[in-house]
Amino acid sequence: MEVVIVPDAEAGGRLVAEAVVRLLGHRPDALLGVATGSTPLPVYQALAATAAAGGADLSRVRVAQLDEYVGLPAGHPESYRSVLEREVLAPLGLGPEAFLGPDSTAPDVAAACREYERALATAGGVDLQLLGIGSDGHIGFNEPGSSLASRTRIKTLTERTRGDNARYFGGDPGRVPRHVITQGIGTILEARHVVLLATGPNKADALAAAVEGPLAARCPASALQLHPHATVVADEAAASKLTLAGYYRHVFAGKPDWQHL
């Protein structure tokens, strides 16, 4: 696992966007796994700016959804599909044909989860998966206690996560759906490159547990320790509890020019 400490969220966004642009240079139709929330926004903004300046061709890129609320009607402004349409598809100039996501309104949600697994496989798998990390260490909506081999499935959110997400629902945790579809940890680990972004002091404990703690279901993000190509990009605040921060800085500063994220 490579850990890169950056000054702030914007610097992290630019760094990850550069990695995406390099990927598209040799795989123009790459499947990019996208996450919602405020953390990955600087990546999408940097990608849109690069494309607008002629520095990247995003016309063939495809995007795959990490997770989705169950129970919100189609087109609800806080459904993750709607959020991704606003924050990823529209800014990058992509149409609905570039999008892969689970059907969270299907009568049989379990069958929809299995169908999404098949769709990801048919698409060739995710080339680069963007992740955030929850304050309790969750990735996607794989809450603490999730199987490290889990596949796309329905999950029940913890009250902590519902409270964290209440800001998108008028500050009322009661309006946050209780259930979600999420790619499982085993599904996430099949991406060829996984990039976890962490910003802000409220992510410091979870990030330290994920990177330097034991591999444990209590901290789902710790499963990334098993991935052959996992990158963590953290701002100074999120990295503040990493005991090996000095080493991570030393390694990144000494990387040869040809070796990218």
Catalytic machinery residues: 67, 136, 138, 143
What DSSP string describes 79-115? SHHHHHIIIIIHHHT--GGGEE---TT-S-HHHHHHH
CA 34 to CA 21: how far, in whole Å?
15
Radius of gyration of the chain (CA): 17
CB atoms inside a 10 Å sphere around CB 15: 20
Indicate the SS3 state at residue 166.
Answer: helix
**Residue 209 near residue 133 (C-beta atoms within 8 A):** no
Q: Output the CA angle 153-112-186, nearest 5 degrees.
A: 35
